[in-house]
Chain A
Amino acid sequence: MSYVCSVPTLCRSILSSLLLLVASGIFAPSAPAADTLTIYSGRSERLIKPVLDAFTATTGIHIELLSSGTTELVNRLKAEGDRTSADLLITNDAGSLELARTAGLLHPLNMREVERAIPAQFRASDNAWVGLSGRFWIVAYNTTMVKPDQVKSLLDLADPKWKDKIAIPNSGSEYLQAGVSVIRATYGEEKTKQFLQGLKTNADSQVYQKSSQIVDAVAKGQVALGIVNHYYVYRHLAAQPGAPIAVLMPDQQEGGMGAIMNVAGVGIIKSTKHLDSAKLLVEFLVAQAGQKLFADLDKEYPLHQDVKADPALVERKSFRAALVPLSKLAELREPTLTLIEQVGLR
């Protein structure tokens, strides 16, 4: 037979290579080294990795990072149960952390460093999760297309005059879910539903997966307004200082609900085998040095009272935040999702 590579040979080599793989243990989960922490992170890798790298540089503890969607990772932790290799969970939303806590996935903490650094309203009652940085759900506007006094409240974006002029995140976004929860808790079901219907009509196909895309679309003038977390705008401005985009802090009018706040936070997984290292990381993240990284690199509002936000940001003391407590975001979520589905947001 004159075949270049006959099938039986091919079969045999395939089989033997498979066996080799099994033998080399590639199919068996590898046990992480003692000085390695595995982190499931729902925050964009771009925003969290520099901070974790700084931790590795200080302590020598290596970090394995799995970046994905927050809700996706909480689902995964639930499915994995005690067998998970994760030691910590980092998310972009307090509601998701609270859900993970009530599902019994997180380890309560009794750490003086945490209690001293982070005000109580930004932590779980048993410290099973700890807020790390604050963010506000704001209106980003294109300065050549919109005057800042044209919009007072998030709810104004449902006005028909903004038809095809706004960009919004998709309904899977935890920011959107948290934001809608706060609006529901403040204004009630009916008004929120009208708002969402208006939003859906006005945004039409301008529904984005990523906040940075929304900021891009606003800066380019593809749309006039977008709803995003504040730091995406400031990060865009830091990279492209002249961009015609600015932040409008909504709902500050007399009797308004205040700007919608959320926190990114961290929790230690209950089944972790590296509790001490994990605590070291939490300690690092809440300490002044760690908090400063969130402020400087990510343009977020640090939660540690003694750490200042980036001076480019709207002064924190100059505006009000909405009064819905963070831990309530968890119980508000289910009815919010039902409402979002009823309206049929993408």
Chain B
Amino acid sequence: MATAGIILLPLGYVTAQALSADPAVWSRLWATRIPELLFNTVSLACSVSIITLVLGVSTAWLVTRVEFPGRRLWEGALVLPLAMPTYVLAYVYSYLLGFGGPVEHLWQLIAGPQARIFSPHSYWGATLVMALDTFPFVYLLSRSALLSMNVSFEEVARASGVSRLSTLWRVTLPLMRPSIAAGVALVILYVVSDFGAVSLLRYQTLTYAVFQQMTGRSDNAAASILSLLLVVLALIFLITERWFRQRSRFYQTTGRYRAPQRRRYGWLGTIAVTGYLGLIVGAAFALPATLLIQWSLSPEAQGTLDNRFFGFIWNSGLLAACAATGGVVIGLPLAYLASRRPTLLNLACLQAAYAGYVLPGPVAALAVLVLFTKLAPVFYGSVLILIVAYVIHFLPAGLQSLEPALQHMSPNLEEVARTLGLGMRDTWRRVTLPLVRNGFVVAWVLMFLQTMKELPATLLLRPVGFDTLAIRVWMEASEEYYQLAAPSALLIVLLSLPALALLVSKDWRAA
């Protein structure tokens, strides 16, 4: 209740501000900005979710159901884009595809000196960057589902004479539905609340407009109106996803399964699969990472590596670890209660936690700031308010993986443990927690990664002398100092890697 309260307060603050705004501001916004912003935001979310759905599910299926050389390597490599913040990918692509950039030069060699390619500062540019960056969410959750799915369902279908394709379509995919829906919902929420990429690509979405209103105006009326719209929009997406997921609930009956049979492909198939995966990983990670390394080695960039720089590293890691830990500690009971005792109150608390994710970074930041000034000024100007904002902002990312983990586990198991004489606490410790450990670890890692990449809330709430790596990247990249932004960007990527390694390591998968 208390946690849900903390999360609802900022929401209430924004709603109250928006509703108490002058009607003239409302009508002016409706007449000018809102239609464009709504259209831009929704269309971006749609195109990105379609592309990530295709990329995520197809890659997950390939690495779990097909055997080919280097499969295990690809299995890990496909997660790598998660270490690449959207604004880093955006700034790399605005260099690559930009006016007079390398891709345009190549294209002009083929199509003549006057030829132009599509600008990265557009709908398609934003779609490309966001899709490449977020498809691992769908991939991870689909892969998890494919690995933990009871193979016997598929085997029964095959034994009854159903074709491979038909089995995939009629058995495997429907079984994966909760995970796929969770992944896509995560992508949509991510796109809708993204600030870094759309601001660098100058693509006008609601979140970007909110930040512009917040930083460009002395009152927050317009910003809170736009945020309210954003929250409503996201709630629509969320409710759709919930409804979809409610209709399909599958329980498993034992803790561990036989690994699924993997088909072997011939050399042609292997080349095709490797080419496909290589293209995706190359565009989403390898190419940008190579550029970052190259830029980081330039003399301009080397000049920025001093003591200050190490301070930025410390700040980033510390904030991310605190926020992720706080998120898991708060998220686990919320998800558990909603899944096991779905009373109206518990479900409401859980849904409230989800709303935090779509409260755009800047508004969540300001709301937290005002709350603390009123309730606990002692903490004012400290790291704590920043961490609270992070937890509110990223809790849903964690919940998205805690929740399906709990749903997959049959309540029978706990009931059996209780009948056999285990106490409440022991049941939790010896049955529930070990079974949800997958979700638990994934949740922590996801929140750690996202906090480290976080930009707008950090920009607005950072205490003096508490610049993070993300802030440094943003400051340099937004003025197109590609070289100077590179060392910080590269470090964010490198610091994210151990966390990612945990994601793909054997330990949590085996559970």
Residues 206-239 of chain B: 1 if any A CB is under 8 Å from the residue's CB, otherwise 0? 0000001111111000100000000000000000
Interface range on chain A (Cβ under 8 Å from partner): 35 or more
Complex Cα distance A74/B366, Å?
A: 13
Residues of A close to B9: CB separation below 8 A: none
Cβ–Cβ contact B32 & A342, under 8 A: yes
Cβ–Cβ contact B204 & A346, under 8 A: yes
Q: Point out the residue from A27, A67, A344 that lies within 8 Å of B382, measured CB to CB.
A: A27
Q: Is B381 an interface residue (CB 8 A)?
A: yes
The residue among A3, A67, A78, A99 with the most chain B CB atoms within 10 A of its own CB is: A3
For B328, the closest partner residue in chain A by CB is A14
Residues of A close to B379: CB separation below 8 A: 27-29
Residues of A close to B329: CB separation below 8 A: 11, 14-15
Residues 207-227 of chain A: 1 if any B CB is under 8 Å from the residue's CB, otherwise 0? 111101100110011100000
Chain-B contact segment, one of A169-177, A181-189, A275-283, A285-293: A169-177
Cβ–Cβ contact A210 & B99, under 8 A: no
Known contacts: A205-B121, A341-B28. The answer to whether A75 contacts B199 by CB under 8 A is no
Cβ–Cβ contact A21 & B32, under 8 A: no
Cβ–Cβ contact B32 & A8, under 8 A: no
Residues of A close to B204: CB separation below 8 A: 346
Contacting residues of chain A (188-242) with chain B, CB-CB under 8 angstroms: 205, 207-210, 212-213, 216-217, 220-222
Cβ–Cβ contact A210 & B380, under 8 A: no
Interface SS majority for chain B: helix
Residues of A close to B222: CB separation below 8 A: 341
Complex Cα distance A173/B478, Å?
A: 14
Cβ–Cβ contact B122 & A205, under 8 A: yes
Residues 62-95 of chain A: 1 if any B CB is under 8 Å from the residue's CB, otherwise 0? 0011111101101110111101111000000000
Cβ–Cβ contact B464 & A85, under 8 A: yes
Cβ–Cβ contact A173 & B381, under 8 A: no
The residue among B99, B318, B440 with the most chain A CB atoms within 10 A of its own CB is: B99
Cβ–Cβ contact A64 & B217, under 8 A: no
Cβ–Cβ contact A83 & B377, under 8 A: yes
Q: Is A306 an interface residue (CB 8 A)?
A: no
Complex Cα distance A220/B101, Å?
A: 11
Known contacts: A7-B440, A83-B381. The answer to whether A220 contacts B217 by CB under 8 A is no
Cβ–Cβ contact B434 & A7, under 8 A: yes
Cβ–Cβ contact A80 & B32, under 8 A: no
For A3, the closest partner residue in chain B by CB is B434
Chain A nearest CB, measured from B377 CB (Å): 6
Cβ–Cβ contact A29 & B218, under 8 A: no
Q: Is B480 an interface residue (CB 8 A)?
A: yes
Chain B nearest CB, measured from A175 CB (Å): 11
Chain-A contact segment, one of B60-68, B246-254, B281-289, B455-463: B455-463
Q: Is B111 an interface residue (CB 8 A)?
A: no
Residues of B close to A27: CB separation below 8 A: 379, 382-384
7 contacts between A and B (CB under 8 A): A17-B325, A18-B325, A66-B464, A66-B465, A83-B381, A213-B478, A338-B28
**Other contacts beyond A17-B325, A213-B480: 4, CB < 8 A:** A6-B434, A69-B215, A170-B212, A342-B28
B-side interface residues toward A, CB under 8 Å? Answer: 28-29, 31-33, 99-100, 119, 121-122, 199, 202, 204, 212-218, 222, 318, 321-322, 325-326, 328-329, 366, 369-370, 373, 377-384, 429, 433-434, 437, 440, 459-460, 462-465, 475, 478-480, 507
